[in-house]
Amino acid sequence: MENETNKLSAQSVETTPDVAGIIVNITGCIPQFKAPNCANNCLAFKYRQINGACNNRYHPAWGASNTLLSRWLPAQYEDGINEPKGWNPDFLYNSFHLPPVREVTNKIIYASNKDFQEDVLFPHIIIEWGQYISHDLAFTPQSITKWPTMWGVDCRATCDKHKSCYPIKISTNDSISKSGCMPFYRSTAACGTGDENIILGIPSTENPREQINTLTSFIDASTIYGSTTAVESKVRNHSSIEGLLRVNDQYSDHGRDYLPFVDDTPSLCLQDSVSDERIECFFAGETRSNEVSSLTAIHTLWVREHNRLAKSLKNLNPHWSSETIYQETRKIVGALHQIITIQDYIPKIIGPSAFHQYIGEYQGYDENTDPSISNVFSTAAFRFGHATIPPTVHRLDSDYEEHSLYPNLLLHEVFFRPWRIIKEGGLDPLMRGLLKQSAKLQTQEELMNEELTEKLLVLNINGSMDLASLDLQRGRDHGLPGYNDWREYCGLPRLKTSADMKTAISDLNTVRKLMELYGHPDNIDVWLGGLVEDFSPDSRTGPLVACLVAKQMKVLRDGDRFWYENPMVFTEAQRLELEKHSLSRVICDNTGLTHVPPDAFLTGKYPDDFVSCDSVPSLDLQAWKENTDEGTSCGLPVKIENGDFVLCSGAVLIYFCYSGYCLEGHEELVCQGNQWSTKPPFCSDINECVEEMNPVCHSSATCKNIPGSYECLCADPYKLAENKRTYSGQLPRASIASIILVAILLASWAAMSWILVFRG
């Protein structure tokens, strides 16, 4: 009877899109990605989709954006469904309460800006690359409820736990705030998981709360290109015949490009207090590009690299269409991200022994490997880098000395301040600082500096935040199992006593404080436990973090059909050229720097350990020169209006239309003899306003079709949201009443379903 009730409930929701939409809006959950039917044309095997779908032809959703973070161990919630660790004051773990996360910060993690050791091996840029590549792999949005009048309160204005709020308790004498708490939004639940599926009448004990990764899992440079067609469209320069990305049309960096600004202004980025001139947030393929100036610099570097390569490819293959150049360049840039990460970055972080044990040599694409990002990797293991961030961002002159015009800055002075790049010297001083200055050495006595634990800036939240507390609370929010469970998962011995702990953590004071706070090793949060372990030989992580990071990297490599080493992706000549390239070469080609370290991820003294850019190897794009003799008997394909084509080979091409247009005619043309198999297709405008099942505009608005798109014309009391498609503002009373009525009916229906289930 239970199974039948569940089937009926699910079917009812699936067949009523309006009700399903109301449920999504009321609960604030994120719908999971529905796997599409994968295309079988030649492009499907040549270029990856922007949203990561169909990378695996048998499991099209694996690694795609808006899919679940994978679980390597079952989630642990205090009610088995939804409530995070530490939620219930009476809940005990091995007879102990979990310590408040801010108390853990104050007693174990906090370190003064003055009390940190420089890493003698690795420079600041290796930390920035870790942050940058983590933003290529995962992002989980927070639960900012869409209907605060019906579901609780604004999490910024309360210290009480609510549906979406899990505030971080702090003592009244804590210097960071006098309110008694720091605001904390829970990560948005995937629809149909945790308590989000109670309204559907589905018993949720079998389906605890899960979180969504809104990005593609793959190392595919989605930081540049985005993980959705909408973002990809916004980063591209569609008027370019060279397949270029958009750049800033107001400012330049000594003739070199900056990222474009966001469209919606005024933006939230902070402004120069001594100037009335506004500098808006930069726009990139990933939303966090403005977090710190050094991260913005890496984003800018790669947009310049894309455009540099694209122009060179156009000169090399003048017959290539804009789309072909864009896709080929994107493919090259994605491969360079893979090479820099797996060959140059990861071995230094986890050490050669762990790399050999968990990753090893590439054995080819494995269609049975799920490349999805794991919850523990995103939420805990790969956040080890937070303990290696130095408190200062250095800006250096051409002699790699402190800049006379642009002095060094504390970290909190570069949060969300793009004006500092445009008005204070551009990229070059920042890049020199990243290359020469050391990263912070992670030690058990000095885990995270006060710039991050006392002065972290989060937009939309007044006051300072504590990154360490946020990391700990996020792990509890996601239901991550404890430290010992993950050690066991990695084949490491469980630590049961203080004596056992000392075998993994040599600092006795740290062991003592851990046991005083947590009571039992099983209770320790996995992020903190992994962080304080002794480093493995020739690495910057302990054995637990090394295991979790390495296992994730292996599945990202082996489960990616478009991994650069797969023989089907590049020719052997192209692969050899790609492997010559390096981050140092990218810096040489896209900044004013003339001397760099041969390996950007190794600390060196200037000028002894730096080399001229003239001696840094680069890839020869001749390996991408196309043989124009093949298929030329048919002549060049005809360009179509509002669309383009991509050559799959000299004799086969695929036509497509831009967003908002529909292809009429044959998609694929083949060169037969001296003529193409059929006439070129054409692109007709899609009238989105005639869609009845899923209207593009709100029912209160009038839809106006325009070439390639549409407009939603609304009247009071509604107003267009930032995406120009949905609506925000005060709902009419009748609408609120209708929604509440539907919610009550659904809740009643769910309750009856539960009663029937349990009685059955």
Catalytic site positions: 135
In terms of C-beta density within 10 A (0-12 exposed, 13-18 middle, 19 or more buried), how is residue 581 classed?
buried
Q: 402 - beta bridge partners?
A: 396
Exposure string for 653-690, b = 16+ CB within 10 A, e = fewer: bbbbbeebbebeeebbbebeeeebeeebbbbebbebbe
Whether the CB-CB separation of 669 and 677 falls below 8 Å is answered with yes
Amino acid of residue 58: Y
* Cα–Cα distance list, 130 to 137, 156, 444 (Å): 11, 30, 20
Whether the CB-CB separation of 334 and 342 falls below 8 Å is answered with no
How far apart are the C-alpha atoms of 497 and 192, rounded to whole Å? 40
Compute how many other C-beta atoms are within 10 angstroms of the C-beta atom of residue 691. 13
* H/E element, 644: strand 643-647
How far apart are the C-alpha atoms of 413 and 355, rounded to whole Å? 37
How far apart are the C-alpha atoms of 160 and 462, rounded to whole Å? 18
Residue 611: both structure tokens together: 């080399």
| Closest by CA position to 290, among listed 135, 417, 408, 394 | 417
Whether the CB-CB separation of 14 and 20 falls below 8 Å is answered with yes
| Closest by CA position to 425, among listed 583, 582, 269, 591 | 591
Three-state secondary-structure class, residue 277:
coil
How far apart are the C-alpha atoms of 102 and 408, rounded to whole Å? 29
How far apart are the C-alpha atoms of 280 and 418, rounded to whole Å? 7
How far apart are the C-alpha atoms of 242 and 231, rounded to whole Å? 19
Query: Tokens 């050495």 belong to which residue?
Result: 441
Whether the CB-CB separation of 176 and 466 falls below 8 Å is answered with yes
The DSSP string of 58-111 is: SSTTTT-TTEEPB-SS----TTSSSPPTT-STT--BTTBPPPPHHHHIIIIIEE
* Cα–Cα distance list, 253 to 47, 256, 443, 466 (Å): 32, 5, 38, 34
Whether the CB-CB separation of 29 and 202 falls below 8 Å is answered with no
The DSSP string of 714-750 is: --TT-EE-TTSSSEESPPPHHHHHHHHHHHHHHHHHH
Whether the CB-CB separation of 402 and 429 falls below 8 Å is answered with no
Whether the CB-CB separation of 259 and 278 falls below 8 Å is answered with no
